[in-house]
Chain A
Amino acid sequence: METNETDDMLKGFFGEQKQEIADNGFSKRVMRKLPEQADRSWIVWVFAIAGIIISLILGFYTGLFQHAQFVLPRIPVYYILAGVFCFPLVGTIAFYFTQNKHYRVI
């Protein structure tokens, strides 16, 4: 028998036998058996607070905030509005394209 024919036959054979196995509480049993580990969500807060503190220090130290206070009132409000509205628009488009396997427009 030719290799391709054999491949097709085996793919057909295994394909017929392949079936999804229902969870039937298996995942819950696994979750119950998992050992307890310390909650490490504090890591997120530590890095977030450290990031804010570093930003504030650098902002004041380099004169960025003082400069921004001077520059911001001189930027036309339309530029700021465009910037503010563009961000969620671009974010939504990016989200749609990364998740397009799950969401359809119609």
Chain B
Amino acid sequence: MSNTDDIRWVAQVALLGDKTAFDKLTCKYQSSIRRFFLNLTVGDAPLSDDLAQETFIKAYLNISTFKGISGFSTWLYRIAYNVFYDSARAQKHYDDIDEQVIDNQRHTLNEFSAEKMDIYKALKILRKEEQTAVLLFYMEDKTHKEIAKIMNCPLGTAKTYILKGKEKLSVYLTQAGYGN
């Protein structure tokens, strides 16, 4: 499915309020958006699904503001990024939450937890902005320019986040014996 399909579906939703077209967009992007949240919340599957749901609802309500300058995917990630940081600010999620609760959630609620422990441990050593930029770059295959748009920051800042994240992860993974 190409970007042409995205534009066609977006036009159908924006002009005609066609929910079937929006369902196609949701099906296409649900996996990447939920994965993005799952990594940002270090494995909290219920929270990441709630945030993903909120992202798609906001996208549906504001779809007429999508100008098509950047791809639909970039626009959707931008909403997801805002939803995540709004949620984090509102709940002070990362300041107040008990580490043990997170660990328990990983073990009990997330079906991928066993395989993903390494990535969650690695991501926890990064600042939130670095996590976001690194995830978008290395996991979601976004370009520097797209990341700058998603994070609403200058291109140089986005590159700095990736570079700093890369340096920290490189040291961490080498010490952990990854790649040997």
Q: Mark A35-50, 1 if CB is under 8 A from B, else 0.
A: 1011111011000000
Residues from chain A with a CB closer than 8 A to the CB of B53 are: 26, 29-30, 33
Q: Are B17 and A26 in contact (CB under 8 A)?
A: no
Give bound CA distance, A14 to B179, whole Å: 12
Residues from chain A with a CB closer than 8 A to the CB of B122 are: 13
Residues from chain A with a CB closer than 8 A to the CB of B178 are: 9, 13
- Of A13, A26, A35, the residue contacting B30 (CB under 8 A) is A26
* Chain A residue with Cβ nearest B48: A21
Instruction: Tell me whether A10 and B138 are in contact in the complex, defined as CB-CB below 8 angstroms, given that A20-B31, A34-B60, A40-B16 are known contacts.
Output: yes
Q: Are B166 and A7 in contact (CB under 8 A)?
A: yes
In the complex, whether A6 has a CB less than 8 A from a CB of chain B is yes
In the complex, whether A93 has a CB less than 8 A from a CB of chain B is no
In the complex, whether B57 has a CB less than 8 A from a CB of chain A is yes
In the complex, whether B139 has a CB less than 8 A from a CB of chain A is yes
Interface size on A, residues (CB 8 A): 33
User: Could you show 24 A-B contacts with beta carbons less than 8 Å apart?
Assistant: A6-B170, A7-B166, A9-B170, A10-B138, A10-B169, A13-B122, A13-B138, A14-B135, A17-B116, A17-B118, A20-B35, A21-B31, A21-B38, A26-B53, A27-B26, A27-B27, A27-B30, A30-B26, A30-B53, A30-B57, A33-B57, A35-B57, A37-B17, A39-B17
Instruction: Kindly provide the distance from the CB of B159 to the nearest chain A CB, expressed in whole angstroms.
Output: 13
Residues from chain A with a CB closer than 8 A to the CB of B57 are: 30, 33-35
Count A/B pairs, Cβ under 8 Å: 92
Residues from chain A with a CB closer than 8 A to the CB of B115 are: 17
In the complex, whether B150 has a CB less than 8 A from a CB of chain A is no
Interface size on B, residues (CB 8 A): 41
Contacts from A to B (Cβ < 8 Å): 1, 6-7, 9-14, 17-23, 26-27, 29-31, 33-35, 37-41, 43-44, 98, 101
Q: Are B4 and A98 in contact (CB under 8 A)?
A: yes
Residues from chain B with a CB closer than 8 A to the CB of A27 are: 23, 26-27, 30
Give bound CA distance, A23 to B139, whole Å: 19
In the complex, whether B84 has a CB less than 8 A from a CB of chain A is no
Q: By CB atoms of chain B within 10 A, which of A14, A19, A20, A44 has the most?
A: A14
Residues from chain A with a CB closer than 8 A to the CB of B52 are: 26
Q: Are B139 and A14 in contact (CB under 8 A)?
A: yes
Q: Are B16 and A41 in contact (CB under 8 A)?
A: yes
* Chain B residue with Cβ nearest A12: B179
* Chain B residue with Cβ nearest A41: B16
